[in-house]
Amino acid sequence: MQKGEPRKSSFPLLKEFLDLKSAEVRAIVQLEALVNLRREISYAMDDLVPGEVMQRVRLVDIQLEKFSFILLAGINSTNLKWATTLHAMSLGMESIKLSGIQTVESGSILSELKQVSESDPPRVKASAERCVRFCDDFTKQTAELFEESVNVVGEAFNVDQHAVSVFIEAEVRSTIVFQFSRTASWAMRNVRAVLGQPPWDVLFPGTATGSLLFAHSISEIPEHELQQPRVAVVDRAEGDEDIPHAIKGIVLGHELPHLSHLGVRARQAKVVFINSEDTTTFKDFKKAWTSNSEDWVKLVVSLGVEPLRMEDAADSSRAEGVSDTHEKVVIDIPEPVAKRALVVAATDVRIST
């Protein structure tokens, strides 16, 4: 930008950010100054007409967005505390909103995060869960946007298939949403400990049935030898593996970022996936089922009070695939009523309606 751009009132915020950027201060302080500057630029953009000045300002904002990724990554790599985490989540979500990503939902979550306090763990958990869902939805929408065109272009230019397959994940992981998901995951993990809840993190809920398989790592699972659906209990994963087609459910022995390559692939393939945040809990689970290796089991993963349940399914039908665990309610609307718009006051709602 040139002197006086985007407007004179922006100069104090620009100077503050540049001074802090070159000073030895905490990343959270720099991120706050950066968000303040981006907010000012966003307001100023409303008064600019399309042209050279707007283009320069827009390019500056893009570079600030990239730097916010670096700052939030630095915050995530430190020994996080509750006050820092909640502040970082608020700043991260505002950065996402300023980048124009799902502005209505991100704005709503931002308002919620500004009211959250570490003294209210249940509310922190609810807000963190909403943040994680936001990140998952962003990943899903990005995949739906690019998936078909990426395959077509990759094939047309004879691009290596692996490069084509990881393009979407790479795009997601290069955005501020990826770093924000790491911050939200820290909040989820620690608030579960505060509330005394089971140390399991759900990456993709659902129900999966198949023959029980134990493996040290996903990369060691011999896909060509799998002739039937499998539910895998896995000790380790690097996070960049592909999931064998026969695997319908995974119980992993350690934490995994929600937006890792493996996590994204699991959601795309609708593979039921849950990982443990506690080594002892995973070892106990594994020990309880070791004698059932190769038996037919049903894995149920949910976002409720009981995140993980596995049971013997030897007597049940061996239907392949994954089924939705959400209860479906059928509402019978009489024909005359169904033909007109339904607007019902909340006070008039009864169980029968």
Catalytic sites, residue numbers = 261
Strands 206-217 and 230-236: parallel
Cα gap 140→137, rounded to integer Å: 5
Instruction: Name residue, tokens 């059932």.
Output: 292
Instruction: Name residue, tokens 């000790």.
Output: 235
Cα gap 349→198, rounded to integer Å: 36
The DSSP 8-state label assigned to residue 245 in this structure reads T
Cα gap 298→303, rounded to integer Å: 17
Which of left, alpha, beta for 175 (phi over 0: left; psi -120 to 50: alpha)?
A: beta
Cα gap 207→307, rounded to integer Å: 11
The SS3 call for residue 65 is helix
Phi, psi (deg, nearest 5) at residue 200: -120, 135
The DSSP 8-state label assigned to residue 221 in this structure reads S
Sort 317 into a burial class: Cβ within 10 Å, 0-12 / 13-18 / 19+. Answer: exposed
Cα gap 289→101, rounded to integer Å: 43
- Cβ atoms within 10 A of the Cβ of 191, count? 22
- Cβ atoms within 10 A of the Cβ of 14, count? 18
**In sequence order, what are the beta bridge partners of 247?**
230
Strands 308-312 and 230-236: unpaired
The DSSP 8-state label assigned to residue 327 in this structure reads P
Rg of the chain over all Cα atoms, to the nearest angstrom: 24
